[in-house]
Amino acid sequence: MSSLVELLDVFDVQPASDGSYRGTSDGGTRKVVDGSQLLAQAIVAAAKSTPEKSVRSAHASFCRAVDADAEVAFDVASVRAGRTFADVLVTVRQADRTCALVHVLLDVPQADVIRHAAAPPRPSSPDDALPCEMPLTGRELRIVGVQDVNAADEVGPPELDAWLRYDVIPTRDELAKALLAHFTGHLAISTTMRAHPGIGTELAHRTVSTAVTTIDVMFHEPVSWDGWLLYAHDSTYVGSGMSYVRGQVFAEDDRLIASFGQQGMIRSFVRQAADAAIPVEARL
């Protein structure tokens, strides 16, 4: 996708005659659909299947790569439909191949019994952050204290704070949550690699093989924002070919509106071909 408007259109999957929801995508030069996009589409499909409730969390496992040039089907199965809670399983497939499974929990938000929320873990401001080239018309991205998140010589603590601002903020609850979920898959592996000299996502598919394997996202009601969003990433583990990053999403007024976790694969790449490197606009 080249614009935010196109991205939101892709998220907005439509019902098909067989009861599933259908979506398509342009994966750019990689021709592979990002896992976080599939997560966003599954959130919309689950919400449309259960319109009387609000999406509270989604837990995605990615089994196979999805071809961006082929139609994607989202099969929605109701696991439980209670008065206040509903569990939905979304199977993402192309033809007869299962590509991802997304478990979505929906509920009817209730009045507070008690309430507290974390504050941003590190003080920062979008005014002090550095512009980041991750092209999407309608989105502005700035990274705190890091010039190039993909560089192998960019070394520091295994944490990354990203400020995002969208020209369009969806008014539909499920589309807003889909948009929040989409960026949870973009910087986690870079966060992990930052603590290790000589390795960065610029080496992806050259000397290392990387992929997102699972994403979990929890929405903290009410989910609304105006202006900038802060995605705070912390990598708490990497080893045995896998990494884990936890994150929080804050509105500009410091309200915590979502939390997420991502597991990713980082392994040696057998074939070493410079022309196989992932272009900057497609890197996670």
Q: Give yes or no for residue 141 having a pLDDT over 90.
A: yes
pLDDT digits (tens, 9 = 90+) for 1-30: 689 999 999 999 999 988 899 987 655 556
What's the confidence (pLDDT) of residue 23? 87
Domain range summary for the chain, segments of one domain joined by +: 4-108+124-282
Q: Which of 212, 204, 210 is nearest to 272 (CA)?
A: 204
- Whether residue 100 is predicted with pLDDT greater than 90 in this model: the reply is yes
Distance CA 174, CA 116 (A): 24
Look up residue 217 and give its two tokens. Answer: 């996202």
Q: What is the pLDDT of residues 224-267, one digit of tens each?
A: 999 999 999 999 999 999 999 999 999 999 999 999 999 999 99
Give the span between the Cα atoms of 10 and 100, in whole angstroms. Answer: 17
- Mean pLDDT score, 170-188: 96
pLDDT at 276 > cutoff 90: no
**Model pLDDT, residue 140:** 96
Residues 6+ apart with CB under 8 A from 112: none
What is the percentage of the chain residues whose pLDDT exceeds 70? 92
Q: Of the candidates 238, 152, 253, 251, which has an alpha carbon nearest to the alpha carbon of residue 194? A: 152
Q: Is the pLDDT of residue 166 over 70?
A: yes
Instruction: Look at residue 1 in the predicted model and tell me its pLDDT.
Output: 64
What percent of the chain is predicted at pLDDT more than 90? 83
pLDDT of res. 87: 98
Minimal CA–CA distance to 120: which of 236, 231, 227? 231
Question: According to the CATH classification, is domain 4-108+124-282 in 2.40.160.210?
Answer: yes
Longest dimension (CA), the chain: 57
The predicted structure's pLDDT at residue 2: 81
